[in-house]
Chains A and B, each alone.
Chain A
Amino acid sequence: MSSAPGPEGPPTVLPRKRRGIELVMLAFALLLGLGAYAQVDVNVTGALGPRFVPVAVGCTVGVLLTHLAVRWRLPYADPLLLPCVVVLNGLGLAMIHRIDLISEPVAHGARQQLIWTTLGVVVFLAVAVGLRDHRPLQRYPYTIGLVGVVLLLLPLVPGIGTAKFGAQIWIQVGPYSFQPAEAAKVLLAVAFASYLVEKRDVLALAGYRVLGLDLPRARDLGPILLVWLLSLAILVLQRDLGTSLLFFGLFVMMLYVATERAGWAVLGLLLFAAGAWFGYLNFGHVRVRVGAWLHPFSDFDAYYQVISAQFGYAYGGLLGTGLGLGRPGLTPLARSDFIAAAVGEELGMAGLMALIMVYGLFVARGLRTALQCREPFGKLLAAGLAFAFALQVFAIIGGVTRLLPLTGLTTPFMSQGGSSMICNWIIVGLLMVISHQVRRPVATAASYRPDLETTQVVRVA
């Protein structure tokens, strides 16, 4: 940021737009993705595939379109969010393409993923051009929340809900299947944020102080218990550890940020521990995951997937086998849940770590947006979206690398799957919209004092 003396004396802060930086970074990101794609072709088949040129042109056009839309409608948005996404999305495409080439005849996962990416970009453009300001979303907490919960529970409805890989988290409409939990993630983040902004005073002020912790009143426990029960329901009925963990984590974190009371976080962790213990004791699928985490080699056949991912990491070593030169196809679901295993094998642990850093950068920019935001709804929403993203990356990559028990979450922007791709593009869109609003020059320059954070709160409603 640079400050220039305003006409009436007090300095007016004019944040730089940095769109040029974004363009350079986008070009770099595009180069990485397309380079990886070309390398896969050359290493596996010896020559560039026939689809490379159309793919390259399509991707370049898509990236340019997003950039132009941002330049036009969100000129002050954070310049690093989009390049991070393009790197991840591009490498994900290249990796899926690589796994396509293993099967005989060649599969078309990458083509499908490209279609999903296109849809994601379209949705992003719609958010950037159509929404521009996130604050109107605050108006309907209950409606949005209800829609989110309904979406979340939709896979349980007989007829449209289907179980894949042991989890009842898909709905099938005609030939298309959809994971509504991904959309619910965005909707519930919005609903939680607007609800908590409304209720945060009550939740923050009333309560008891025990052992230095401010504990909430029993009657205020309603919302957290409700979300807890909902998460347990997902765990029990849909057998989906990841989504369950993600929603509960998201809610507790937002509750803590909104109320500024550590008691909520402690309570949330206790509830989480209780839920996890309950799940471990009562459900075979939870025990299988924990078993695969603690002692995978005790049962080679049952824990094959996790073991194979470990073998992949070992085979790839620090620098990897090189794109197209490893054996990522040996791990089941290498395109979706286990894409981090494929990356680690072919790009090496160094490559996977670089990727984790890109995710980290994205999360950091999201949290930074939250810090800079001057009104509570945007703050909560940005922090919530960024943290949910971090939690998701932590859970899935941690699960694949055997840091944690495996939870079947998608790897954002990389895993094959339409619902995840579209919803994550919505998340980028929302974060960019918020950051644009945050960094935009304020109309009343005198009221803007960046050094006094507490005075920055702007009541809008």
Chain B
Amino acid sequence: MNGPIRRVAVVAMLMFALLLANGTYIVLFRQGPLDAMPQNRRVRDAEFSQNRGSILAAGKTEIATTVPSKDRFAYQRNYPSGSLYAPVTGYFSYDHASTGLENTYNTQLAGTADSLFVRRLIDLATNRTPQGASVQTTIVPKVQEAAATALGRQKGAVVALNPKTGAVLALVTSPGYDPNTVAGHDVEKADKAYDSLAADSSRPLSNRAAREIYPPGSTFKLVTAAAALADGKTPDSKVKAPDRLRLPGTSTYLPNEGSCGGTTITMEQALKVSCNTAFANLGLGVGEARLREQAQLFGFDARHLSDLGGVASQFPDSLDDAQLALSSIGQYDVAASPLQMAMVSSAIANDGVLMDPYVVSSVQAPDLTPIETHKPRVLSTAMTPGNAEALQQMMGVVVSQGTGTNARIAGVEVGGKTGTAQSDPKRKPFAWFTSFAPLDDPEIAVAVVVEDADIPRNDIAGGRLAAPIARAVMQAGLSR
């Protein structure tokens, strides 16, 4: 019987070998994905009770901190300014994961990132409580506060950029929410708070500044103007500006909102009064391909600010002439995020050079030594310096004499462009304003959108609503 017993022994050996092999497989291949699963309470609880690093605004203002706690988790995430910085920090909740920088920089904040491995070993050896790295943002509290105050309770968003670096100076979306309510340790209460936020029809959890796209309306005329300048036109070039333009191939007429000051006007005049027919003609003259190319040079059709999950703005495909005419004035299927329109102003202001927008300037270890540092990066050269300067002057005229007079700041030259857009005839229009200041040496570029603005559908009205907000933000951001 020994032969069969030996074979049985081999079978038994194989069974144990399989158990061991499976154990190895778990550690090598299953561990990572399992630890990353949101349902894994062990990992989540461990992260939740960690001494998480802070998120800082410029000037070392703590916008997300961790304070010791005496309940079942050792630390509590705290957002000292309530809802003010929520669009940037996001929240860190127990049942609803995390958003914003809390999510993007989770491993660094929690101290589990690979870049912190050596520090973890030292902490282990010295028996020190491991602490996460802190994340330094580019947000300037003064600008952020001004933007939030100016926008107030209106639905909409504000984005402010430093045109020379791409640093995000302010990023506000409204209505907002207080991340403290969903980050609480009383999970039931936090869940309830989250559920009511998620169910709210005004969508307070959505980031309108970077993650929503709107029809940009007349602010898109800046892109058309840039394309026309690149095509050889100058601010003084004459453009046909009939009172109404029959859209090619259709029997529909595109009207102007008011008088454009003649039927043949200069491009500068067209931008100053936001003349629809003139820009439709400019767009038709430039052609679909060149207009799209110009839009893409400004950043359309690509995602930006991935740290906050920014979405791509759209310039539609395969247009007929009627659609091209409408697209040239920011209608039809053109859609842009407030971030995108701030990038347009920013590139024009920065002599045509578009900087990659960023919100995190550095990640610092608990002892403040930098682990990662962001270097400003050129995204594209959207315009030649000469054309950019011409467009800057045209935008200056818009603010000094045109539709954007509400953005004037005493003693500072400001360039801007108004817009009013309607996605659906039944909805109230969106009021837009995008601008930069000062004109000669820009320090800040801003885009403002106000949803469901209770205004008539014309640009002067759009400028009336959005331009003062932009002015307040620029004033806060100017060093003078």
Contact = CB atoms under 8 A, between A and B. Distances in A.
Interface of A: 253, 256-258, 260, 297, 300, 307, 310-315, 317-318, 326-327, 330, 344, 349, 352-353, 356-357, 359-360, 363-364, 367, 370-371, 376, 379-380, 383, 386-387, 390-391, 393-394, 397-398, 401-403, 453
Contacts of A300: 39
Contacts of B39: 300, 307, 311
B5 A313 contact: no
Nearest to A379: B1
Contacts of B37: 297, 311
> What are the 9 closest A-B residue pairs judged by CB atoms, nearest first?
A314-B34, A315-B42, A394-B15, A390-B12, A403-B22, A257-B4, A360-B16, A314-B31, A311-B40
Contacts of B24: 349
B45 interface: yes
Nearest to B35: A314
Contact of A367 (B12, B32, B41, B46): B12
Contact of B22 (A312, A314, A401): A401
B121 interface: no
B27 interface: yes
A380 B31 CA distance: 42
Given A311-B42, A315-B43, 15 more contacts: A256-B4, A297-B37, A307-B39, A311-B39, A314-B34, A314-B35, A330-B42, A349-B24, A383-B1, A383-B5, A390-B12, A390-B16, A391-B15, A403-B19, A403-B22
Chain B interface secondary structure, helix, strand, loop or mixed? helix
Chain A interface secondary structure, helix, strand, loop or mixed? helix
Contacts of A352: 23
Interface of B: 1-6, 8-9, 11-13, 15-16, 18-20, 22-24, 26-27, 30-32, 34-35, 37, 39-43, 45-46
Contacts of A313: 26-27, 30-31, 34
Contact of A387 (B1, B12, B16, B34): B12
B4 A403 contact: no
Given A356-B23, A359-B16, A317 B8 contact: no
30 contacts: A257-B1, A257-B5, A260-B3, A310-B30, A311-B40, A312-B42, A313-B26, A313-B27, A313-B31, A314-B30, A314-B43, A315-B40, A318-B27, A327-B45, A330-B41, A352-B23, A353-B23, A356-B20, A359-B16, A360-B16, A363-B12, A367-B8, A370-B5, A371-B9, A390-B12, A390-B16, A394-B15, A394-B19, A398-B19, A401-B19
B4 to A, nearest CB: 4
Contacts of A314: 26, 30-32, 34-35, 40, 43
B27 A349 contact: yes
A402 B25 CA distance: 11
A367 B13 CA distance: 11
B42 A257 contact: no
Contact of B6 (A327, A371, A401): A371
Contacts of B26: 310, 313-314, 349, 401-402
B24 to A, nearest CB: 8
Contacts of B23: 344, 349, 352-353, 356, 401
Given A317-B31, A352-B23, A390 B15 contact: yes
Nearest to B41: A330
B68 to A, nearest CB: 19
Nearest to B22: A403
Contacts of B1: 257-258, 260, 376, 379-380, 383
A442 B20 CA distance: 40
B74 to A, nearest CB: 14
Contact of A356 (B3, B19, B41): B19
Contacts of B15: 390-391, 393-394, 398
Contacts of A260: 1, 3-4
Nearest to B43: A315
Nearest to B40: A311
Nearest to B32: A314
Nearest to A317: B31
Nearest to A356: B19
A386 B16 CA distance: 13
Given A371-B2, A379-B1, A398-B18, A311 B31 contact: no
B46 to A, nearest CB: 8
B18 A394 contact: yes
A356 B15 CA distance: 11
A209 to B, nearest CB: 18
A211 B326 CA distance: 81
A427 to B, nearest CB: 15
Nearest to A340: B19
A297 B46 CA distance: 22
A359 B12 CA distance: 11
A386 B480 CA distance: 87
A260 B40 CA distance: 50
Nearest to A264: B4
Contacts of A311: 34, 37, 39-43
A453 B4 CA distance: 13
A300 B39 CA distance: 9
Contact of B8 (A310, A326, A383, A397): A383
A371 B5 contact: yes
A359 B19 CA distance: 11
Contacts of A367: 5, 8-9, 12
Contact of A453 (B2, B31, B40, B43): B2
A403 B25 CA distance: 10
A393 B18 CA distance: 12
Contacts of B35: 314-315
Contacts of A397: 19
Given A257-B1, A317-B31, A403 B8 contact: no
A315 B20 CA distance: 18
Contacts of B46: 315
A174 B109 CA distance: 56
Listed residue (A312, A317, A318, A349) with the most chain B CB atoms within 10 angstroms of its CB: A349
Given A349-B26, A401-B23, A403-B18, A387 B8 contact: yes
B291 to A, nearest CB: 47
Nearest to A255: B4
A256 B6 CA distance: 12
Contacts of B9: 364, 367, 371
Contacts of A379: 1, 5
Contacts of B8: 253, 256-257, 367, 383, 387
Contacts of A326: 42
B58 to A, nearest CB: 38
Nearest to A345: B42
A403 B17 CA distance: 12
Contacts of B16: 356-357, 359-360, 363, 390, 393-394
Contacts of B18: 394, 398, 403
